[in-house]
Structure 1
Amino acid sequence: MKKKICIIYTGGTIGMEETAYGYAPAPGYMKKTLGSMQELKDPEIPDYDLIEYSPLLDSSNITVDNWNQIGADIRERYFDYDGFVVMHGTDTMAYTASALSFMLQGLSKPVILTGSQIPLCKVRNDARENLITSMMIAADYGIPEVCIYFGGKLIRGNRSTKVSSDTMIAFDSPNYEPLAEAGVNITINQKQIRREARELNFCPFTNNQIAVLKIFPGIQFEIFENIMTDKLKGIVIEAFGAGNIPQNDDSMLRMLQKAKENGTYIIVCTQCHRGTATIGKYETSKNLAEAGALCGFDMTVEAAVTKLYYLLSRHQEEREIKLLMETDIRGELTRDA
């Protein structure tokens, strides 16, 4: 029997039309375009159903509610299809892929996010290859993970980050090898694939206040003290190198102390494209350790943020959240990196 997949079209460059004001999404355009693509009539291409969101979303406007909507749509149709392709704008695709990886526990089918830098309406584009290969992998390769396919590589969703705004290779997986590469043939890296022998469990996210703070030379921490209220549930700090922050004045200590008193979770990631954060490796991270900060190891910021959303949505116990934040639960981190 021919395989069948579900395509969820949320918006993004891939389906935009050219207008007098620049590229813009157009309701109904994707259905018409897919119907006219001769490539999709080839026997190698699976059958598909298309779900088009209304309104179509610029990925810059994606919210937690939209993540929940995508996850719920997959959960509702999970047993009707062999796999899922989510067409999505590139700007926040890594966040959505990371969120879905935590939200959809126990996957046994592929969920592949893709998009493009140049829309389908242009003669020269990357959209066709990204879409066609995503459809083939979703139908026939049995990779039970949330992934991004882009620019010839299939990468784990919660290891992904956007690295370019104007080249065809827009995404990278800095600390984890690709799950597959598409050249003349599609080559699967089986040892990199994570498999869970469980039934699907869908956990929608609750809206919690989470902040991201990128450290830079000369940062004045007192600017951020006012956000350290008991409503702020977590802050992800993008630190220097292996998890270092400045120790020039007391304002940073006051900020960290306020976060600790309010029960705000502090997660430390590295700004470096590759490598890991290790709190306590250098003296300049000792204040983070004293404030009870959690180590993000080699997690991307996208994974750290969405993982914290997941843990706050599912767990109430502080001890359990702290333990799981530093534990690999979906292939998102390597403790010994």
Structure 2
Amino acid sequence: MSGRKRIYVAYFGGTIGMMPTASGYAPVRGHLGSQIRQTPELNARDVPELVVSEHEPLLDSANARPSDWLRIAREIVEHRHSFDGFVVLHGTDTMAYTASALAFLLRGLGKPVIVTGSQIPLGVLRSDGRQNLLTSALVAARDDVREVCLVFGSHILAGARAVKASASGFEAFTSPNAAPLGAAGVLITLDEARLRVTERAPIALPLALDANVALLRLYPGMPAALLRAALAEPIKGLVIEAYGAGTFADGDPYLLAALADGARRDIVIAVVSQCADGRVDLGAYATSGPLIRAGAVGGLDMTTEAAYAKLVVLLSEGHPPATVRALLAQDLAGELTP
């Protein structure tokens, strides 16, 4: 047993640790740890030691907020010298947002942080939780992984690239604009060329994740009042899901006026594509002109989840708007292809 890796398992909620009750599946304190102890493959000698910590109260991921992202990051930073790697157990509904946020908050940590969960509770027949947790623990014990990843089914994804693609399938997550980091099949394989190499020192965590950031999807005929509301006080940043390569309705004077008002208040605007497989190029079409004049930053091939989390983190770190705009266009945690 000498040299066995130690992995910190932070259970913040989600289906994986739930148990059947009269009202349906629900989280019950202590149930997850009990199930792990009763699962032989999770206690095998060639599996790292799992030290489980349960969040109080356990969260349904639909209730997760940016403050919860910071709480998870703080817990990991607090234990960074005592463990070889970390596994975060989380509900699937907002898992991609949390994985993206942790990728930005923990940039420079230099240790593996694996976000996972399940579609079926760990203690239920046919649970996918056993395999997801086992794969996550093994990836978290690797010396060549020094970043935040999302592991689900057979996919090992960069944390800031993942999106939820299925509400019920065991292969629930994908990364549409970037190849997976690896796969869990007969063997766990990782593409070393795609793994990040940590060179910078860890980034100090912000005191709070309290930057007000809005998210708005454009649609034909959208009233200008919606855009004005998304740019109103106390909003400091806005992610716009634009059409295609980043186009905007430049023929609507009311929308243009609302966008111009937001620009005058120096609100930081990030533009991502509504296309799952897409890349924003604000110089490709003339109809992107209003966004360019408003100082918007093209998010290239970032996911909506990554763009939102990145804007919340950067604004909460206290950077001035000009610096946030510059950092939005840079690859900080594997979230975009320059």
Given candidates 7, 14, 38, the residue that maps to 1:5 is 7
2:280 corresponds in structure 1 to 277
Q: Deviations over 1:132-171 (max 9, x none)?
A: 1101111135300100000111100001111110111111
Cα distance, 1:236 vs structure 2: 0.4
2:335 corresponds in structure 1 to 332
Preserved contact between residue 96 and residue 159 of structure 2 (Cα < 8 Å): yes
Preserved contact between residue 230 and residue 262 of structure 1 (Cα < 8 Å): no
1:202 corresponds in structure 2 to 204
Q: 1:275 to 1:227 in 2, by over 3 A?
A: closer
Output the CA distance in 2 between the equivalents of 1:326 and 1:67. 22
Preserved contact between residue 121 and residue 129 of structure 2 (Cα < 8 Å): yes
Cα distance, 1:13 vs structure 2: 0.7
SS in 2 for 1:78: coil
Output the CA distance in 2 between the equivalents of 1:148 and 1:316. 28
Given candidates 72, 75, 81, the residue that maps to 2:74 is 72
Opposite residue 102 of structure 2, the aligned amino acid is L
1:184 corresponds in structure 2 to 186
2:87 corresponds in structure 1 to 85
Q: 1:227 to 1:152 in 2, by over 3 A?
A: closer
- The number of residues matched between the two structures is 335
1:117 corresponds in structure 2 to 119
1:127 corresponds in structure 2 to 129
Output the CA distance in 2 between the equivalents of 1:185 and 1:179. 14
Opposite residue 259 of structure 2, the aligned amino acid is L
SS in 2 for 1:10: strand
Given candidates 289, 292, 295, the residue that maps to 1:286 is 289
Regions of 4+ moved over 6 Å: none
Q: Which moved more, 1:194-203 or 1:166-175?
A: 194-203
Cα distance, 1:264 vs structure 2: 0.8
TM-score computed with the length of structure 2 as normaliser: 0.96
Output the CA distance in 2 between the equivalents of 1:287 and 1:41. 58
Opposite residue 301 of structure 1, the aligned amino acid is T
SS in 2 for 1:266: strand
Q: How does 1:150-229 map to 2 (within 5 A)?
A: 150-204=152-206, 205-229=208-232
Q: Deviations over 1:25-83 (max 9, x none)?
A: 11111111111111122111111211101110000111121111100100000010110
Q: How does 1:40-55 map to 2 (within 5 A)?
A: 40-55=42-57
Q: Deviations over 1:232-251 (max 9, x none)?
A: 10110001100012234211
Output the CA distance in 2 between the equivalents of 1:226 and 1:331. 31
Output the CA distance in 2 between the equivalents of 1:146 and 1:124. 27
1:61 corresponds in structure 2 to 63
Structure 2 gaps of 5+ residues are none
Cα distance, 1:3 vs structure 2: 0.8
Opposite residue 78 of structure 1, the aligned amino acid is R
Preserved contact between residue 94 and residue 160 of structure 1 (Cα < 8 Å): yes
Cα distance, 1:222 vs structure 2: 2.4
Preserved contact between residue 155 and residue 180 of structure 2 (Cα < 8 Å): yes
1:137 corresponds in structure 2 to 139
Q: Deviations over 1:95-126 (max 9, x none)?
A: 11111111112122100000011111221121
Q: Which moved more, 1:190-199 or 1:53-62?
A: 190-199
Cα distance, 1:292 vs structure 2: 1.3
Q: Is residue 310 of structure 1 aligned with residue 313 of structure 2? A: yes
Q: Is residue 322 of structure 1 aligned with residue 325 of structure 2? A: yes
Preserved contact between residue 315 and residue 321 of structure 1 (Cα < 8 Å): no
Preserved contact between residue 231 and residue 238 of structure 2 (Cα < 8 Å): no
Preserved contact between residue 215 and residue 239 of structure 2 (Cα < 8 Å): yes
Preserved contact between residue 59 and residue 93 of structure 1 (Cα < 8 Å): yes
Opposite residue 132 of structure 1, the aligned amino acid is L
RMSD: 1.3
SS in 1 for 2:59: coil
Preserved contact between residue 71 and residue 202 of structure 1 (Cα < 8 Å): no
1:251 corresponds in structure 2 to 254
Output the CA distance in 1 between the equivalents of 2:73 and 2:62. 18
Identity %: 43
